[in-house]
Amino acid sequence: MTPAPHILAFFQNLGWPELMIIGVIALLIFGRRLPEVGRSLGKGIVEFKKGLQDTGDEVKQMPHKPEAGGNRYEVSDNKKVESTPAKSNE
């Protein structure tokens, strides 16, 4: 869905005074919760960066080239399976 053109026109007409008024109103409404929101936002950013770093470390530890002659897939059992050709109804 694309926003209606009149909504986009509204955002283009916002200047610094309007943004300051919106900011003051937001501060009055959410003022008591702002420290809590800031803490949770900071913790989220730290956890995200930690996850990125851990993933990067795992990628660096992975071998770059497969071993020569080695299989990429493990075989669970070495049973020989015989196949028979399919019969045609010609």
Q: Give the span between the Cα atoms of 25 and 59, in whole angstroms.
A: 47
pTM for this prediction: 0.41
Question: Tens digit of pLDDT for each residue in 20-59?
Answer: 998 899 889 888 888 898 899 999 999 999 999 988 888 7
4 burial via Cβ count (<10 Å: 0-12, 13-18, 19+): exposed
DSSP 68: T
The domain ranges of the chain are 35-60
Identify whether the C-beta of residue 48 lies closer than 8 Å to the C-beta of residue 42. Answer: no
73 burial via Cβ count (<10 Å: 0-12, 13-18, 19+): exposed
Question: Tens digit of pLDDT for each residue in 55-75?
Answer: 888 878 877 665 555 555 555
